[in-house]
Every structure is written in structure tokens, then in C-alpha cells.
Amino acid sequence: MIRRRILAFGILLNLFIPSACQPAATATPEVIVVSTSTPAQATETATEIPSPTATSQPTVTATPDTIRVSPKDGMTQIQIPSGTFFMGGMDVYRENDEQPAHEVVIDSFWMDQVEVTNGMYELCVRAGACRLPKEARSDNREEYFNAAPFRDYPVVHVAWYDANAYCQWAGRRLPTEAEWERAARGDDKRNYPWGDEAPNQFNSNSLNIVGDTTRVGSYPEGASPFGVLDMAGNVWEWVADYYKPNYYAIAPLENPQGPTREEARSDLRVIRGGSFQEDGIFLRLANRSFLDGPDPKADPKDEAYYGKSSNRVGFRCVEE
């Protein structure tokens, strides 16, 4: 089970009333989503749980130097420039494992613009490099992974082992926590990828409004300052790091890679971003949660060898 924290705060975020203003964001690339590279594109439209229609879209067009498409799986990738950013919780809802907030220097990298989809993951399965998801269903859909209407929806029921295997097959890797937060936050101290406005039906698939996953890239209003989509809501995302509650107090200030397994003293791996069920506290981009990762001492015939999976956890990859 995904760890949910019990907060001492008696007041939740005002989830449905947008704030009067948001922090100024850096230039956001035009939303370009290449959802799958499989030859047969799904023509059906999912009708049981429709995706909302956003009211606006980013207007600044990306240049060929900052956006590209992976030839392996058709994923659109966004270049995240090198720089120094603020990492950690800086609002009233910050928790101990988000402390201390600190400046981190990150080298440039390429981030998947959206979460890896069912159609993309199927390519890896067909190539023999990935296991099938543990279950083919989603939270409320009996047929999901192998159903044509949901090819462009995020793959779920994949353990950390599976996410890592996919990224390696695609010529990429899982992001570190620092890379993930850099891509979500940009250069300021915002609390959500889109700014400080609370999550709502236009900027994220959250609050259980939809009740299940939605097509990747359906919320352009929720784009990060670099144009990365779905970094809050839809599904939690695996990152590379082991979970250590006090890691920020000892982490390197340049390109932190996360603690070793021995330092973490467990097989827990970090997940980020919240899912379609979570409220604003859990969608804060500084929020850290975790799920069981692979246990290298377990028998490969045992699921513990691969780790836990969930109908609310997916992933995306990065590349140098």
C-alpha cells in the first residue's frame, strides 16, 4: 500500500477556488504529445470515464534544440537545462522528510514529456525486455492494458523493477528525485508544477474527480515551467532513489543520486507526483512517498524480487 501521511494540520488546501495570481513561469513549450509509436493507432474513444477539456494551452513554441522524439518508443522528450533550483518543502504543509529545503545544482538532461503509456510499454513486452503488468485492469476498468481505447493512457501495475527495465530498453533511465523535482519546479519556489493555484479539474487529474487514469497530456494547464505534463496527478511515478527520510540533510548539493541501499536500510523506492485519487497536499511537487522496491535477496519466483506495484503508480524516463 502506498504510504499516506497523517497530517496534524486541521485545514486542508482550498482545492477548488483558484488563487488570484500565480508566480511568473519560464517559457513553456507548446504541448506536443507523441503517445505511442505502434503502427496501429487506436481510433476508439474511451467513453466510460471521459477526460476533461482544458481551457487554455501554453503559447510559446519549443525549438528543435529543446524538444525531440525518441526513435525507440515515440516518446516526446523535453530538454531540462542545467541550473540551480530549490528542492524540498517550503510551504505550511512541508513534512520532515522534505527538509531542509536547499539549493541543488543539476546538469542538463532530457525528460519524458508524459508518463509511459500502455502502447509504449507493450512495445517493450513484445521485444521480450519487459514483463507484462501484474494486472491488465486499472482501478475501475476490467480491460485496460490491452484495450485499444487506453493505448495512450499511463501504464500501471508495474513494479520498480519493470519501470527500470523499460527505461533501459528505451535507452534511458529512471530520473533521480532531484531531476524529477527540477523538471516539475523550474527556477522558482512554486508548490505545484503549474504554480501555486490549487489542483482542480483543469490542471490535473486529481481529487478523484475522474476516478481513474486519463489520457496522457490531457491537462496542458498543468504543464511545468519546461512544458513537462502530468507531473501532478494521473499516476504516481517511480524514480530511481531509495527512500531515506532524512536524506536531504546529507545529500550532495550537486546532482544527488539518492542514498545507497545500505544507507537507506530498506528496499523502499521513492514515488512522486500523486495520482488521480490524491488531494492537493499529496500533489505538492515536494511531497515524497514510497513503495516497496525489488528485494535482491528474494527468490526470482517470488514477487518480492520485483517489488510492489499499484493501479496508481506508473513512471517516466530521462536521458542524459
CB 149, CB 44: distance < 8 Å: yes
Residue at grid coordinates 528542492: 87
Q: Is the pLDDT of residue 17 over 70?
A: no
Whether residue 294 is preceded by a cis peptide bond, meaning omega within 30 degrees of 0, is no
pLDDT class for 38, splitting at 50, 70, 90?
very low
pLDDT for position 62:
57
Share of the chain above pLDDT 70, in %: 80
Assess whether pLDDT exceeds 50 at residue 152. Answer: yes
Mean pLDDT of all residues belonging to the chain: 85
What is the model's pLDDT at position 314? 98
State yes or no: pLDDT of 179 exceeds 70. yes
What pLDDT does 1 receive?
52
Strands (E) located in the chain:
67-69, 76-80, 83-87, 102-106, 109-112, 236-242, 268-272, 289-292, 313-315, 318-319
- The pLDDT of residue 54 is above 90: no
Residue 298 class from Cβ within 10 Å (0-12 exposed, 13-18 middle, 19+ buried)?
A: middle
Burial of 193 (0-12, 13-18, 19+ CB in 10 A): buried
Pairwise pLDDT comparison (42 vs 239), residue with the higher score = 239
Q: What is the DSSP letter of 165?
A: H
Work out the pLDDT band at 65, boundaries 50, 70, 90: confident
All domains in the chain, ordered by first residue:
67-319 (3.90.1580.10)
Q: What is the mean pLDDT of residues 183-197?
A: 97
Interval 194-218 mean pLDDT: 97
Residue 63: predicted pLDDT: 66
Range with lowest mean pLDDT among 19-33, 160-174, 189-203:
19-33
